[in-house]
């Protein structure tokens, strides 16, 4: 390899933990996906309504394996460099839909498949919104614990947008600059780490036969002479 390196755009999967058509968290997911597209990120937007799955049951898995919808969704996760979840709060915790989805797609179904291949090593960020003043904040540490256990690298920044009924305009954009800034502060590190994940093959150790070249926000890489 010589000359100026060509860097791959990161791919970020965006998913809401709700399948309700008028979900505020789905609205936040669409808003965030549009922001990511504006900064030239490849976005995989997931609506979990398109991936129906039965309640996870080990007996069913043993008898028939993973549902095709779980296999299809799992592949989308595998293809991503980063994950963005907008997280509804149900009784102070995660949604049954989110947990059931994770329980299915975290299961291996290929020979010699690495553990948690759909999640492990991926950057993951969390947003939430709700009509209440806390914006779904109470549930975020539950989502964080689950994703950490699956091997995700969780972005430290998180954002909870309160007062969801009045938070969005008719086009689905956030109204308040304070809310916009909160979301941006979550997306920026997610994009940076996802970009590093996307370009890992280009990042190598300096050797005598190599020269160091800058690569923008990703730091420096070694280029063979």
Under CATH, which architecture does the 11-198 domain have?
3-Layer(aba) Sandwich (3.40)
Hey, where are the domains in the chain?
11-198
- Please tell me the predicted confidence (pLDDT) of residue 6: 76
Distance of CA 16 to the CA centre of its chain: 10
Q: pTM of the prediction? A: 0.89
- Classify 98 as helix, strand or coil: helix
Q: How many helices (H) and strands (E) does the chain have?
A: 6, 7
- Please tell me the predicted confidence (pLDDT) of residue 154: 98
Each residue's pLDDT, cut to its tens digit, for the chain (225 residues) gives 456 667 899 999 999 999 999 999 999 999 999 999 999 999 999 999 999 999 999 999 999 999 999 999 999 999 999 999 999 999 999 999 999 999 999 999 999 999 999 999 999 999 999 999 999 999 999 999 999 999 999 999 999 999 999 999 999 999 999 999 999 999 999 999 999 999 987 764 333 445 555 544 444 444 433
- Asked if residues 128 and 94 have their Cβ atoms less than 8 Å apart, the reply is no
């Amino acid at each position: 390899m010589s000359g100026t390196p060509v860097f791959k755009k990161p791919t970020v999967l965006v998913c809401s933990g709700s399948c309700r058509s008028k979900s505020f968290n789905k609205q936040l997911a669409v808003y965030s996906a549009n922001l990511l597209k504006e900064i030239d990120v490849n976005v995989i937007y997931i609506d979990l309504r398109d991936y129906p799955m039965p309640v996870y049951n080990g007996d069913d898995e043993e008898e028939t394996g993973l549902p095709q919808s779980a296999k299809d969704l799992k592949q989308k996760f595998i293809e991503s460099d980063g994950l963005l979840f907008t997280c509804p709060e149900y009784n102070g915790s995660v949604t049954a839909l989110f947990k059931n989805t994770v329980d299915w797609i975290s299961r291996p179904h290929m020979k010699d498949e690495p553990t948690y291949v759909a999640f492990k090593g991926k950057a993951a960020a969390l947003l939430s919104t709700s009509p209440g003043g806390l914006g779904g904040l109470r549930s975020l540490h539950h989502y964080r614990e689950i994703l950490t256990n699956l091997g995700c690298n969780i972005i430290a920044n998180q954002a909870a947008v309160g007062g969801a009924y009045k938070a969005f305009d008719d086009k689905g954009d956030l109204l308040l600059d304070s809310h916009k800034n909160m979301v941006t502060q979550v997306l920026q590190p997610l994009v940076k780490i996802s970009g590093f994940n996307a370009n890992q093959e280009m990042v190598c150790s300096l050797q005598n036969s190599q020269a160091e070249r800058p690569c923008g926000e990703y730091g420096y890489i070694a280029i063979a002479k």
